[in-house]
Amino acid sequence: MEKHFSKERTLIVIKPDGIQRGLVGEIIGRYEKIGLKMIAMKMLVPTPEHIEEHYTLDPEWRRVTGEKTIASYKAKGEKPPTENPLEVTEKLLKNLKKYISSGPVLAMVWQGAHSVQLGRKLAGGTEPLTSDVGTIRGDYVLDSYAMSDTDNRSIRNLIHASGSIDEAEMEIKHWFEKAELIKHTIFQEKILYDVNLDGILE
């Protein structure tokens, strides 16, 4: 049998700026309120190596991210710093390692139907300036590519959310031991997933 929808898992990491801005409760609240279930959480200061491995778990990440960044320069009518996607990514990665290892982060695993897609939807697009209103990145921070490029740093966008189900599985293994994932039921699952709703009335 296919795994039930309710078993899908995603990795959400509140980055150092999210902790420093006092947004932990707000961010967790968004994921709780949509109906996802937290099954693991820990606070840690990640090493730069841990961050490099995290972003390169997908062997395509360097190429895809480099191409995406070059395309975004061109879309704005600007000249990218280089035409080589891998060179672009090397610089991004260097900045990312500095950003995400700069202080404590909160790593979490959230489980529930469509958790990966919802993790991204509630997070919003990568650049806070253009992320949709109502999303975590869109509502709680003002950073832009213009600022991060000028200062040669990563864009500060509060959280990481896995990009696909495969990515989520690899990332969860990278951040958590199997024993740290706590299998449990929360009562709201009854109303979210129960087919008959026959447990409410006495």
Active site residues: 160
Give 10 or 111: the residue with its C-beta nearer to Mg ion: 10
The closest alpha carbon to 162, from 55, 15, 6, belongs to 55
Give 50 or 186: the residue with its C-beta nearer to ligand ADP: 50
125 sits near Mg ion (criterion: CB under 5 A):
no
Q: Using CB under 5 A, which of the segments 9-17, 77-85, 161-169, 190-198 binds Mg ion?
A: 161-169
Cα separation of 103 and 13, whole Å? 13
Q: Minimum distance from CB of 104 to ligand ADP (Å)?
A: 17
Q: Minimum distance from CB of 196 to Mg ion (Å)?
A: 39
Total of residues contacting Mg ion (CB under 5 A): 1
Place of tokens 């991204």: 120
Residue nearest to ligand ADP (CB): 126
> What does the DSSP 8-state code read for residue 2?
P
* Contact criterion met (CB below 8 Å) for 51 and 174: no
48 sits near Mg ion (criterion: CB under 5 A):
no
Cα separation of 115 and 192, whole Å? 13
Supply the DSSP string of 78-98, one letter for each residue: ---S-S-HHHHHHHHHHHHHH
The closest alpha carbon to 58, from 198, 179, 166, belongs to 166
Give 80 or 163: the residue with its C-beta nearer to Mg ion: 163
163 sits near Mg ion (criterion: CB under 5 A):
yes
Phi, psi of 120 (to 5 degrees): -75, -40
Q: Minimum distance from CB of 181 to ligand ADP (Å)?
A: 22
Q: Using CB under 5 A, which of the segments 3-11, 69-77, 87-95, 155-163 binds Mg ion?
A: 155-163
Q: Minimum distance from CB of 130 to Mg ion (Å)?
A: 16
Give 149 or 194: the residue with its C-beta nearer to ligand ADP: 149
E strand spans, the chain: 9-14, 37-44, 105-111, 159-161
Give 112 or 119: the residue with its C-beta nearer to Mg ion: 119
Longest CA–CA span in the chain (Å) reads 68
User: Which residues of this chain interact with ligand ADP, rule CB under 6 A?
Assistant: 65, 69, 92, 96, 126, 145, 148, 154-155, 157, 160, 163
Residues 12, 14, 15, 18: is their CA dihedral positive or negative?
A: positive
Interface positions with Mg ion (CB under 5 A): 163
